[in-house]
Chain A
């Protein structure tokens, strides 16, 4: 397993990677108006937000997400913008009660998005994961394809939501029972089952995706996704890319390709992203947008554990304190690590002890 020295080392590497591809660093202020999140609450992974009254009485929030901040602060007249960030967000984990401060890195492109731009963002997602792990997988899906499927099955409202749940869980056995109660025909059930099973070799999966298309929306999404897969294969990322329609984000915000990234040894997704033109439009902006975020908090096992060790412990008393400081300085200049203490510290590992005390 790859071992990274620290989060800082990873973030420095990622900043260099994004900067080298022409992405400009974006750093928003610490706080945002709470209304920014309230208006787009379903877009947030964690719906709870830390709020407080600002100096002028406005209700402010510690940001739970970076994408909304990026959209709000980007100049709509500035043409297509390619931005990256490495910053902190404040959210409640899915399996915990209390808010956490979480490091996040990501890229966002806002403006004219073409196929090459989508491929570049996906390539960056692959390169981001490669910076973290030796083995990684990017799952690709397409909101247009899934929405097309729901429409072909005649599902709307609550029924559509329920079908989404079966798709997300790859749960065909319960979908069959559900389909019976909703009068979905055999052809629809079969297509749902085939789509739910799509995976493995990405070119074969792309062919199966095209074959399963039931309407024009699905066909057009399948063509778009196939084109992306071809580009990624040509760029040498084919073996790390899967097509998997069990990732399905909110259709209110996402419209095109969506993706999740997994790193070997981490049980949950560590990266997620997609095309979110609808969010942009909801916020009164024209054009397209695509981006992803890397959840640094999920990568703990890749960071070298804090060994809590030094090479030398120097013990001192009142008389020997100046000598201890001088030795410490000399040893650290040689590249060694030193802790000076009045007595042997608890819970620390060390290679040697130099005792300068007169009466230990």
Chain B
């Protein structure tokens, strides 16, 4: 039996569809209800729904053998897991955005509002810019509008929210997509099963 942590939401449904087409379907699967665990003895698979940001935690701590998690979460939390495949889904970009008329006043630290504190710190450390991080949990775009921050570091999918709030992208930090990750110990003890899953997924993606 292989335990798979799926991110609850639209991405999770898409990933499940890919896994099902790769031979890992689950007869009791249902993403609309409140049930969190689904198993199928015949396919030898057990799925559980978790919050997208928690997938890597479940995998790192061995509650799940493998899981699907966005590159944004992997960069932010740096879990000790194997990153076995890029599923090419849920594509977007980690960006620096600010008001359309913003210019960088380099005489003082840059105020950066973000959910991704480590990503922001690492990015600005690499380019040698002193920053003050403002950690927010949502509606990040509001921070520069209200003058609380100079820029934001956030995920941009289509850019519509930015445009509607008169913000624009100033830099792309890295591209994001869904990645298949595996627990390091499970990869040893269930090596054949996990390798087969990776191969089947790569076949199904074609």
Interface residues in chain A, defined as those with a beta carbon under 8 Å from any beta carbon in chain B: 94-95, 135, 137, 139, 169-171, 173-174, 199-200, 242, 246, 262, 264, 266-269
Contacts and interface: CB of A to CB of B under 8 A. Distances in A.
B83 A171 contact: yes
B82 A267 contact: no
Contacts of A169: 81-83
B185 A173 contact: no
24 contacts: A94-B80, A95-B60, A135-B189, A169-B82, A169-B83, A170-B84, A170-B187, A171-B83, A171-B84, A174-B86, A199-B191, A200-B191, A242-B188, A246-B82, A262-B184, A264-B189, A266-B185, A267-B60, A267-B62, A267-B184, A267-B186, A268-B185, A269-B184, A269-B185
Contacts of A266: 62, 185
B80 A170 contact: no
Nearest to B81: A169
Contacts of A173: 83, 85-86
B122 to A, nearest CB: 12
B93 interface: no
B183 interface: yes
What are the 4 tightest A-B residue pairs by CB atom distance, in nearest-first order? A267-B62, A173-B86, A171-B83, A170-B82
Nearest to A260: B184
Contact of B188 (A95, A137, A170, A171): A137
Nearest to B65: A267
B61 interface: yes
Contacts of B80: 94, 268
Interface string B51-64: 00000000011110
Nearest to A268: B185
Nearest to B182: A170
Contacts of B85: 173
Given A199-B191, A267-B60, A267-B61, A262 B83 contact: no
A242 B195 CA distance: 15
A317 to B, nearest CB: 49
Contact of A267 (B83, B86, B183, B191): B183
Interface of B: 60-63, 80-86, 183-189, 191
Contacts of B63: 267
Nearest to B84: A170
Contacts of A94: 80
A137 B189 contact: yes
A227 to B, nearest CB: 23
A267 B64 CA distance: 10
Among A173, A174, A199, A200, residue most surrounded by chain B Cβ atoms (within 10 Å): A173
A169 B59 CA distance: 13
Contact of A139 (B81, B83, B188): B188
B182 to A, nearest CB: 8
Contacts of B187: 170
A344 B84 CA distance: 56
Contacts of A170: 82-84, 187
Given A170-B82, A173-B85, A174-B83, A262 B62 contact: no
Nearest to A263: B185
Contacts of A264: 189
A267 B63 CA distance: 8
Among B63, B183, B184, B189, residue most surrounded by chain A Cβ atoms (within 10 Å): B184
Contacts of B60: 95, 267
A242 B187 CA distance: 12
A174 B181 CA distance: 13
Given A267-B60, A267-B62, A262 B185 contact: yes
Among B62, B83, B84, B85, residue most surrounded by chain A Cβ atoms (within 10 Å): B83
Nearest to A199: B191
A264 to B, nearest CB: 6
A94 B187 CA distance: 20
Contacts of B82: 169-171, 246
B203 to A, nearest CB: 16
Contacts of B191: 199-200
A150 B62 CA distance: 31
A304 B172 CA distance: 52
Among A95, A135, A264, A266, residue most surrounded by chain B Cβ atoms (within 10 Å): A95
A267 B187 CA distance: 10
A174 to B, nearest CB: 7
Contacts of B186: 267
Among A95, A135, A169, residue most surrounded by chain B Cβ atoms (within 10 Å): A169
B58 to A, nearest CB: 10
